[in-house]
Structures are given as C-alpha cells and as structure tokens.
Amino acid sequence: MNIRRFREEDWLQVKEIYEQGIATGQATFETAAPSFEKWVSTIAANLCFVAEDEEGIQGWCKISKVSDRCVYQGVGEVSVYVREGSRGKGVGKRLLEVIIKESEEKGLDINSRDLP
C-alpha cells in the first residue's frame, strides 16, 4: 500500500469512496458528493492523501479548513474514508499516521470525531 498526495486524476475514485461513506449515513451529514472544484477548495495546506495499491485507490484523507475566520487559523478537521472492501485492514490507520505527521510539521492542530 502506497500513501501519496492526492492528484486531480484521483478524483473519480476518491468521489466513489466518499459516496460509499455518505451511503452509510454515519460518516457525514452530506447527502451527495460535491463537485471536484468545491471539494478541492476545502483542502487545508495541501494536506490530502490517498492510499493506493495495485487495484487502485483504497482510501483517502484530508484536512479541511474549519473556517476562514482568523481565530480558526491553524485549526483543521480531518476526514478519513476507506473503500468498503478495504475496511478493517489498516488503511485508515496508515492514512492517519501520514496526515498527522504532515499536519504537525505545518503547525496545525487537528480536531476530529471518531465514527464507526
């Protein structure tokens, strides 16, 4: 499993995984995936990664801006989504390890809530 930065050509697979998460009714209050442009605009400090194997992208994570207000500068919200068939195999853990390390190096605090 290779963890690397998100690239634009990853969007269709990332969107598919996001839609799987939306369908659970547990991962987000969103009811549909946003457009590529809207989704990318929420990424904070270029902190978005994918987990990829020979079959394609198995998961992704990103840190989103919480607000443009100055009091929230340096605060982000982490999202982690893993493809249905890859859950429970450590993909999310590996993604979190990378994004936590990268965010700490950039001086960000991470606020998250754990969901099943």
Chain segment 14-36, per-residue pLDDT in tens: 999 999 999 998 888 899 999 99
Residue boundaries of the structural domains of the chain:
2-111
**pTM, 2 dp:** 0.88
In the chain, what percentage of residues exceed pLDDT 90?
Answer: 65
Provide the residue type at 111 as one letter: N
Higher pLDDT, 108 or 77: 77
- In this structure, whether the domain defined by 2-111 belongs to CATH 3.40.630.30 is answered with yes
Which residue do the tokens 């659970």 mark?
24
Both tokens assigned to 44: 């904070």
2-5 sheet: strands from edge to edge: 2-5, 43-53, 56-65, 75-82, 109-111
**Per-residue pLDDT reduced to its tens digit, 46-60:** 899 999 999 999 999
Q: Which residue has the tokens 């390390």?
A: 101
